Every structure is written in C-alpha cells, then in structure tokens.
Amino acid sequence: MNSRTRLRQHYIQAVKDTLKTLTKTRLWFHCSPSLQAGATPQNDFFGINVAPSSDPQVDDYIVDRLKELQLQQIRMDFSYDSIDGDAERLLKRLLAEGYQLMLDLLPPLEDASKLADDLDAQQRWADFIDHVGKHYGDQVNCFEIGATPNRGRWSGFEPLSYLTAWKIANEQLANNSILLAGPNVSDFEPISNVVLLAEMQRQGHAPDIHTDNLFVERVVEPEAYDHRVLGQWATTIFKFNLVKKARVFQDLSQQFGAKQTICTYKCWTTKRLNRWSNDPQSKKADYLVRYLVIAAASGALDKVYWGPLICSRDGLIDDGAIGYPQIDNVSFYKEVRGHYAQLKPGKAFYALANLVKLLSGAKCVRAISADNGINHFIFNTEDNSQIHINWTRDRQTIPVQLLYTKQQIAEASFLDIVGNPLVQAASSFNEQPNFMKFDQAQQSKLSTEQMTQLNVDHDIIFAPIEGIEFSPWSNGDWTGAVAIKPGEDLAEKANSMLPENLLSLPKLSVHRDQRNIVWSIKDPLNPNNILVVKENHAKGLKKLSYRFKDSKGKRHWNNASEMIRRGVNSPTPIAFFERTENAGITTNYYVCEYVADSFSARDAFSAFAKGEQQYDGVNKEVIFQAVAHYACHMHNRKIIHHDLSGGNLLMTKNEQGDINVTAIDIGRATILKMKPTEHKRLLDLMRLCYKLDWPNRKLFMHYYFDALGHAFSSDWKKPLSYYDWKHKTKRKIKRFLKGKK
C-alpha cells in the first residue's frame, strides 16, 4: 500500500474516531471545571525533567539539586546519540542514586519524519529500542515513546510516523513487563489524543500511561479559561480551564484503557513572561505554585513533571546560555548548554522545593478556584498540621480579614512563596500565593458558596511590589485603595490617607494649582518620607464626559500599577480615594511617593535648545539616551502616555552618573493590547520634542531609533512639525484675542 493511500485511510479513520468520541463524551460537558476537595497528591506526584551536560561536574550538581528539591520522580529524554554519551552517563548516575525514571525514547528529527515509509529508519529505531530495553528495561519505571507528535516542526513526527514508532517499540519490548507511555501530545489538543490513542488501541498496544504536555501558557494565567480552543465566543460555554483539561485527559485515559494520566512537561518561559511582567523570575514562581496546587487538587493527574530543571529560558535554574536550541526543549530536552560556573537557581526553584515539602502526601480538604479570582486551598499534612494556600488572579487583591478572623490571623504562621516566615502577618492576599500554617484544623470565615459569590473588585489594578502590600478600601463615603508598608496597620494607614485627613496636613509645596491641584506633604505615618497628593476636579464639559469614565484618581492608580507591572518607572502609588457615588465627576484624590532630588526633561531640553551641552552636570547625550530609551521601553510595553511633555518626565542620577527616568501625570495613559504603531509613537513623542530645536530633535530621535532597533519611515518629522504649527497658531490666536480686548 503506497503512502498516499495509507494517509488517506488514516484521515478517514481519524474522522470516524473523532466523531465517535465527541458523540460519546458529548463534548466533555460532564467534565467539570470546578474543584472539589478530597484529592491527595502522593509523594510521587511532583517530578522534574533533567538533561546532561558535557561537563561531568553538572551530574553532581543535578543530584544535589534533586536532593534539595526532595524529588524522586525524574523524566529524561534519550535518543540514538545518547548511547555511550553524556546522557547515558547521567542516566547511570541517576539510577545508581535510586531515582525513579521515566525515560523518553525518541528518534532523531530526520528519522522521525520518515519512519512510516523508510525501512532503514525503522530498523535503526528497532535496534535502538532493543538496545535500551535490554540495558535499562528492568531499571526504569517506564519508557515513554516519542514526544509532541502533533508538533512535527519540533519532533519530526507526523501521525503515521509516530504510530509506526509506537508499533515497533511495542513489538521490540513485547516479551518484557515494561510500562509504556504515550503519545505525549503537546498542549491541549484532545482530538490529536483521540486519533492517536484509538489507533494505538487498534494495534493492540494502548499505552499503560497516557501522557500529555498540559500547557496553559498561551492563556497566561493557570486559572484562565482557554479562549483558543474553540474561539473567544465559546470560552465561557465550554470553560476549558486547567481543571477541565486535566479531567478531559483523564476521561480519555479511562476510555482507552490507560492506567495513569501524567503531565510530562510544563513551564512558563522567561521570554514570554518578559512580555507582561517586570519580574519574570517572580512571575515564574507564582505560576508554578498556582499551576501545581490546582493540578494536585484536581485529582485528575497522577503526576506532573516540571521542566526543564536547567535552562536559561525555561528552567528553574539559569545556566547563562545565550539563545535557544534548534529543537524545542518540550520535544527533546537534549542538554544543559551553559557552563557549570554559571548555574544559578531562580525563585521558582525554591518555590517548588517549598511546595514539595508542604504538600507531598497532604490531603486537600478544601479547594476553591473561583471565577471572581479567589483561590483558596486547605491541605491536611502528614504531620497533622494544616496548610492554607491563598491567592488571587493577576492584578487583584483581597484583605486577609475578609477570609479569616483576627484570632486566626494571630495564630497562623505566614510563609512566603519560597517558605520563608513573614515578619508580620499579611494584610492582603494577591497574585503571589501565600501560605498559612496552623497547628490545628481551621476553616475560613466564609463558606465555599459565599467565597465563590464574593464581589471582588476587578476594576482596580494592583502591582506586585516587593515589601509593599496593597488593599482595596471603603468606608461608605469613600472607596479606593491603599499601600501598606512593613510595620503599618491597614486601618490606620487608610484612615491617615482619607481626604479629610490629607487636607488638614501642612503643604510642603504646591506643584500645580490650575484645573487640578498637586502638592506635597509629609507621610503622616512616617514623617521622613514625602508624598505627593493630586486633587482632581471635573469642570465644564468634562463633567459630562467624565460621568462615563473612571475617576482621575483611579486612572492614575491603575496606570501607575500597570506601568510598574511592566517595568516602566512611575512613582509608587500610595492611595486613591473617590466618592462611592458619581466617582468620575466628584472630587477625587491620588497619592504617590515623591521623586526626590529630580529634575525634569523640560528644563534639560530647554537648556539644550539654547545651546547648552550639559544640564546639572550631565552631558546632553547621556540625558537624550536615557529619556529616549525610557520612552521607547514604555511604548514597547504597549503604553502610550498621551501627555508626554518634558515636565512629566523626572530624572534622578546616581553616584555613577547614570540617569533614572520616571513618568508622572499618567492619568491619560492608555494600555494597548498590541505594540503601538509608528504613528502612535510619534504622536506621543511630539510633545516631548517640542522644547528642542531641530538639530537636537534629530539627535534625540537617533537615540530613540537606536533603542527601537530601526528608524521610522522618512516622514517621521511631520507630526513634530504639525505640533510646532499647532502651538504657534494657538499663540497667534491668543495674542489676537488679547489685542482685541
């Protein structure tokens, strides 16, 4: 039978298998996306992916880190060139140390792509399977066959070539009592699982262990419903979150006779996290804990192997290597590419160690991952203590006192995400998981139903800032949010920031007294710190337009929080308050930290336009480069300021003479979904360039282009020229009107 005929028959059968399964499962509506208590992650639930290095020292390093993680379940990729190579050396070491191995056997990319038809390739695969089976079949837990067959660009596999690889592996190992795992479909593509599992079953060789790379990275947060499965319109209809996806795979395991369901490889890449987070290493730790707690509580997965252990982009340990391997690690985690001296564990490594220590063998007695963003889990541990884990979705926060009594808060031992004790009890729960340890069983103040139906404010954005907690606040007349620093009490801080108290404090200086008033004060709880207060009023026609907008105070808070999240400097938000009624058009307030010892880009640019080559002892080129790179970074982070005048960019310099830039007056800023166009960038820059003459504008734009990596089109000067004309025209009109008077 020629390959074209076989392929046609395969697709016909695949359609039949798919329709049969979808009909039988009724599109998996019976698989609930909600969690229920009762799951117990066994001591072997947590695992990790490892790979060898050309340096034997790394073998010792890997074993030491595995002991630090207290992990026994190891997964490792093994191919033709692994035999007698670095991989086999590491494999022997791990087996000698007593680790439980899932050994993933896979052909090279070029052989994988032609296994269905090439007899020589089939023979090489058969010889490889025979060799590995004889040498390690009685030492490893199981053999996994291949990886990511639905990602041919990475693995080389197509459906027929993978099924050929599976059939040959089963035939070669038929006389051995070896557990076989597969097909390791990547991401959530259950149709691929159905097609492969059905054919594997027809061959008479259904897998003992059903494996899948249960990625949720494409929806960013571990708790999110996947909008890419069937499109945005179906997101809240099918509700394919992590829990439901795991249960769909468990359902397929049962349908096709697999004894276990395992997630073989999961990570968030630093490259992707960099797109929306100022601190990708902390974000990686957050998502690791959030993913694994939900996966463990779902009861649908028997194991989850995190991975890779060591990799500069994906790993829990950074090896300092530049770039990324040609074959994606999820398909073939071949090697550690960096040097021994560069190996450095990240925050996620210690977060995993803490989670393994606390949850292995613990029973989940309460599990809530609600649509309102609240995630609340209680585990009874093997030492008869109780662990409570709480967090919210990204950008949210809730007061601890909302879920726990004052007595419970006083009795609990609070731990951070890596297991370090907190100096004082947390005031709020946010997107970074918080651990509370109790000596005796406890329940939160709210029932499961009350917690899932709790109204959590999604309109206020909170930024994760080390050493600062944020909390929403309301007292009936005012609503808003406050920042709580170590040693501060939430109620005392909020009360000190209420407008009636702020207005009674002496003004150190008034920075603006026009439509909106801006002044500075001493922090009432810490007089050594200076705060800036902005009182916002809606006047004239804005009383109409602002009625349908958030208040300026909230917009300042949200924009500052989002900018800080994305690594764009803005003064730390301290508080905002607005009226509970007609918030947009009534007086509202925003409080932030004061930028001390600063000068503005407007003053510096005005000096340069007059021919000065320095400002405040700093060379023109240094200031231009700092401001241009800041503006470009802000735009690259999908933020348009909309009022980027020189007076709204403040600069400070350190002892080394480096310039630090921060943006103020950010109430008009817009957070975009996509990177801004060249036109939008120029519209933002034209206010900034207004104080400069044309030679200096060209020099400034040179530094902007340098930060961007390319120049704009040849007509980039037009928006700047238009802004010049606009201001000249306004001045002429003002002079004319003044003359007529």
pLDDT, the chain, mean: 93
Query: What is the model's pLDDT at position 518?
Result: 93
Query: What is the model's pLDDT at position 601?
Result: 95
- Where is average pLDDT lowest: 94-108, 115-129, 330-344, 724-738? 724-738
Query: What is the model's pLDDT at position 553?
Result: 94
Query: What is the model's pLDDT at position 278?
Result: 85
Helix (H) or strand (E) holding 393: none
**Residue 1 — pLDDT band, cuts 50, 70, 90?**
low
- Express as a percent the part of the chain with pLDDT over 70: 99
Q: List, in sequence order, the alpha helices (H) in 228-379.
A: 235-238, 242-255, 270-273, 280-298, 347-359
Query: What is the model's pLDDT at position 680?
Result: 95
Both tokens assigned to 182: 């597969």
Q: How far is CA 232 from CA 30, 186, 690, in A?
A: 21, 21, 43
Average pLDDT over every residue of 436-444: 93
Query: What is the model's pLDDT at position 345?
Result: 98
Query: What is the model's pLDDT at position 541?
Result: 66
- Residues 6+ positions from 359 with CB-CB distance below 8 Å: 41, 45, 293, 296, 379, 381, 387
Average pLDDT over every residue of 21-31: 92
Query: What is the model's pLDDT at position 740?
Result: 61
Query: What is the model's pLDDT at position 326?
Result: 87
What pLDDT digit, counting tens, does each position of 369-421 carry? 999 999 999 999 988 899 999 999 999 999 999 999 999 999 999 999 999 99
**Residue 501 — pLDDT band, cuts 50, 70, 90?**
very high
How far apart CA 636 and CA 365 sit, in angstroms, is 45
What pLDDT digit, counting tens, does each position of 52-67 carry? 999 999 999 999 999 9
Average pLDDT over every residue of 622-644: 96
Q: What is the pTM of this model?
A: 0.94
What pLDDT digit, counting tens, does each position of 270-314 carry? 988 988 888 999 999 999 999 999 999 999 999 999 989 999 999
Better pLDDT: 513 or 566? 566
What pLDDT digit, counting tens, does each position of 655-695 carry? 777 899 999 999 999 999 899 999 999 999 999 999 899 99
Question: What letter does residue 572 receive in the DSSP assignment?
Answer: P
Question: Is residue 339 over pLDDT 60?
Answer: yes
What pLDDT digit, counting tens, does each position of 166-215 carry? 999 999 998 778 999 999 999 999 999 999 999 999 999 999 999 999 99
- Where is average pLDDT lowest: 4-18, 196-210, 423-437, 439-453? 4-18
Give the 3-state secondary structure of residue 692. coil
Of how many residues is the chain composed?
741
Question: Is residue 352 over pLDDT 70?
Answer: yes
Better pLDDT: 383 or 145? 145
- Express as a percent the part of the chain with pLDDT over 90: 80
CB 241 within 8 A of CB 161: no
Query: What is the model's pLDDT at position 512?
Result: 83
Query: What is the model's pLDDT at position 547?
Result: 76
Give the 3-state secondary structure of residue 681. helix
Pick the most confident of 20-24, 348-352, 488-492. Answer: 348-352
Average pLDDT over every residue of 510-529: 89
Better pLDDT: 677 or 740? 677
Average pLDDT over every residue of 527-531: 94
CB 433 within 8 A of CB 461: no
Query: What is the model's pLDDT at position 581?
Result: 83
Question: Is residue 582 over pLDDT 90?
Answer: no
Angle, in degrees to the nearest 10, between helices 86-96 and 57-69: 40
Question: Is residue 354 over pLDDT 80?
Answer: yes
How far apart CA 652 and CA 206 sit, in angstroms, is 65
Question: Is residue 457 over pLDDT 90?
Answer: no
DSSP secondary structure string for all residues of 166-226: HHHHHHHTTTS--EEEEEEEESS-HHHHHHHHHHHHHTT---SEEEEE---GGGSSTTS--
How far apart CA 379 and CA 361 sit, in angstroms, is 10
Question: Is residue 623 over pLDDT 80?
Answer: yes
Q: Which long-range contacts (CB under 8 A, 24 or more apart) does 24-27 make?
A: 24/255, 25/251, 25/255, 27/238
Mode of pairing for the β-strands spanning 142-145 and 100-105:
parallel
